[in-house]
Amino acid sequence: MASRERNGAEIAISAAVVALALFVFEQLSSIPADGGYSAVGPRFAPMIVGVGLLAIGLLLLRQALTGGWRDMAPAPDEPLHGPSFAWIAGGLALQMAIIGVVGFTVASTLLFAAVARGFGSRRPLHDAIVGAIVAIAVFLFFTRVLGLSLPSSPIRII
């Protein structure tokens, strides 16, 4: 039920913290221990962080397994709406995949429409048009005002 589902996520996050700690320890050996003139070298801080993450991860895991994390804020009123989440995450993945090929304007227009869809919009054409205008405005802002270089779209809109 609801509480079991929540505990599953808590166990997963706790385990991820433990896994991150193990990753830190695993990487330690590849950091040269040469500390120069100091007693502690570039390995020292990672070791502290690894120990801390391990202790925190294990404590979180214990809480998750024994009745759930303590002092939690109330869960959101609505359970996760999967399709909304998927539209936005998918939009981000799509933009990542195609931005190098189709350029910034087209990729961002599609991302805009996908996020709007995730928020319940049912007017893809309208969203795409607004998205294109926003994308071009943002492009001009970043290239002209902030001075960043962005690849312009091969479809020369600007």
Partner 1 sequence: MGGLEGLAHGFSIAITAANLLWAFVGCLLGTAVGVLPGVGPAVTIALLLPLTTQLEPTSALIMFCGVYYGAMYGGSTTSILLNTPGESASIATSLEGNAMAKRGRAGPALATAAIGSFVAGTIATILVTLVAPPIAEWGLSFGPAEKFSLIVLAFMTISAVLGQSALRGFASLFFGLFLGLIGTDAMSGQIRFAMGIQELYDGIDVVVVAVGLFAIGETLFVASHDRRAVETVERIKGSLWMSAEDFKRSVGPWLRGTAIGFPFGTMPAGGAEIPTFLSYATEKRLNKGPDKFGEGAIEGVAGPEAANNASVTAALIPLLTLGLPTSATAAIILTGFQQYGIQPGPLLFTTQADLVWALIASLYIGNVMLLVLNLPMAGVWARLLTIPRPMLYAGIVVFATISAYGMRNSWFDLFLLAFFGLVGYAMKRWDIPVAPCLVAMILGPRADTELRRALQISQSDFSVFFTRPISAALLAIALALVVVPAAMRWRASRRARANAPTA
Residue 4: CB minimum distance to partner 1, A: 15
The residue among 51 and 155 lying less far from partner 1, judged by its C-beta, is: 51
Rounded to whole angstroms, how far apart are CA atoms 42 and 8? 36
Write the single-letter amino acid at 103.
G
The residue among 2 and 36 lying less far from partner 1, judged by its C-beta, is: 36
43 burial level (CB within 10 Å; 0-12, 13-18, 19+): middle
Residue 91: CB minimum distance to partner 1, A: 8
The residue among 33 and 155 lying less far from partner 1, judged by its C-beta, is: 33
| DSSP letters spanning 31-45 | S----TTSSS-TTHH
For 88, phi then psi, to 5°, come to -75, -45
The residue among 96 and 155 lying less far from partner 1, judged by its C-beta, is: 96
For residue 67, is it left (φ>0), alpha (ψ between -120 and 50) or beta? left
Long-range contacts, 73-78 (Cβ 8 Å, 24+)? 75/2, 75/6
Residue 156: CB minimum distance to partner 1, A: 18
Residue 73: CB minimum distance to partner 1, A: 4
Residue 114: CB minimum distance to partner 1, A: 8
Residue 142: DSSP 8-state = I
